[in-house]
């Protein structure tokens, strides 16, 4: 197994890097996109609210793989050429943003409605009240689960393997089918994933216990 690791070290490390990069980018963008759609879900305008709702429900109920393959195979055919890594990261972003939108919306709803009304009464617009009063409080609910969201992202980023996204799983598949040492290759791949996910997961458990 050590020989397997050392002789394919570059591939494993580059896969590890792409996995990490894709997850970090997707987390960052899905936070932005997710918050936007969460706000859409609570604005007074009914039309915007429906759009927000549709976005969240659609992308929460379709497999990530379908979304990713759509971006990899269909978008380049008609819109713009994107490679597997980009398609995978966009897929991850859209998928995750629908879940983040739900968390942010719950956060917004948890802020007392009186605060919004008071702010409006003071002459603030809806957006100002949202920006300065409601969102900062809502994000208190959003930030802690982000760690878990990141763990999910790292795990889900394995769909990049389906679209030649150069990630850890893609490299693992390539190495396994060249060395024929399938099980050991996947054990190494698993350890690489755990290096990222396990510490975050334990830290989150620790945080939850502290807060409880």
The CA distances from residue 207 to 104, 143, 147, 193, in Å, are: 20, 12, 10, 21
Q: How far apart are CA 79 and CA 82, in angstroms?
A: 9
Q: How far apart are CA 88 and CA 26, in angstroms?
A: 9
60 binds another protein (CB under 8 A): yes
Q: How far is the CB of 204 from another protein (least distance, A)?
A: 11
Question: Of 92, 70, 68, which is closest to residue 20 (Cα–Cα)?
Answer: 92
Q: How far is the CB of 174 from another protein (least distance, A)?
A: 6
76 binds another protein (CB under 8 A): yes
CB 174 within 8 A of CB 114: no
Binding mask 120-159 toward another protein (x if CB under 8 A, else -) reads: -------------------------------x--xxxxxx
Other CB atoms within 10 Å distance of the CB of residue 113: 9
Residue in 24, 62, 124, 146 binding another protein, rule: CB under 8 A: 62
17 binds another protein (CB under 8 A): no
* SS3 state at 111: coil
In this complex, which beta carbon is closest to another protein, that of residue 65 or of residue 124?
A: 65
Q: How far apart are CA 49 and CA 173, in angstroms?
A: 43
The two tokens of residue 85 are 């890594």
Residue in 77, 114, 123, 211 binding another protein, rule: CB under 8 A: 77
53 binds another protein (CB under 8 A): no
Q: Is 211 exposed, middle or buried (0-12, 13-18, 19+ CB in 10 A)?
A: exposed
163 binds another protein (CB under 8 A): yes
Binding mask 178-197 toward another protein (x if CB under 8 A, else -) reads: x-x-xx--x--xx--xx--x
84 binds another protein (CB under 8 A): yes
94 binds another protein (CB under 8 A): no
Q: Which stretch binds another protein (CB under 8 A): 28-36, 114-122, 133-141, 164-172?
A: 164-172
Listed in sequence order, the DSSP H helices in the chain are 2-7, 9-40, 46-60, 64-69, 75-78, 84-110, 113-121, 126-129, 135-156, 168-179, 182-211
Q: How far is the CB of 60 from another protein (least distance, A)?
A: 8
Query: Where along the sequence are the contacts to another protein (CB under 8 A)?
Result: 57-58, 60-66, 69-70, 72-77, 81, 83-84, 151, 154-159, 161-164, 169-170, 173-174, 176-178, 180, 182-183, 186, 189-190, 193-194, 197-198, 201-202, 212
């Amino acid at each position: 197994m050590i020989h397997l690791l050392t002789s394919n070290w570059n591939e494993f490390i580059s896969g590890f890097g792409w996995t990490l990069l894709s997850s970090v980018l997707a987390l960052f963008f899905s936070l932005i996109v997710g918050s936007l759609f969460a706000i859409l879900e609570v604005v007074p305008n009914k039309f915007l609210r429906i759009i927000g709702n549709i976005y969240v429900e659609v992308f929460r109920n379709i497999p990530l793989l379908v979304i990713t393959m759509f971006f990899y195979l269909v978008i380049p055919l008609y819109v713009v050429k994107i490679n597997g890594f980009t398609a995978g990261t966009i897929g991850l972003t859209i998928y995750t943003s629908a879940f983040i939108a739900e968390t942010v919306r719950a956060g917004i709803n948890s802020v007392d409605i009186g605060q919004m009304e008071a702010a409006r009464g003071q002459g603030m617009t809806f957006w100002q009240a949202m920006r300065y009063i409601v969102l900062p409080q809502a994000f208190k609910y959003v930030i802690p689960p982000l760690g878990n969201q990141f763990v999910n992202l790292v795990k889900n980023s394995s769909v990049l393997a389906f679209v030649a996204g150069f990630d850890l799983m893609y490299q693992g598949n390539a190495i396994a089918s060249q060395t024929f040492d399938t099980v050991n290759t996947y054990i190494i791949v698993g350890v690489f994933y755990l290096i990222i996910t396990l510490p975050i997961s334990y830290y989150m458990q620790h945080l939850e216990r502290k807060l409880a």
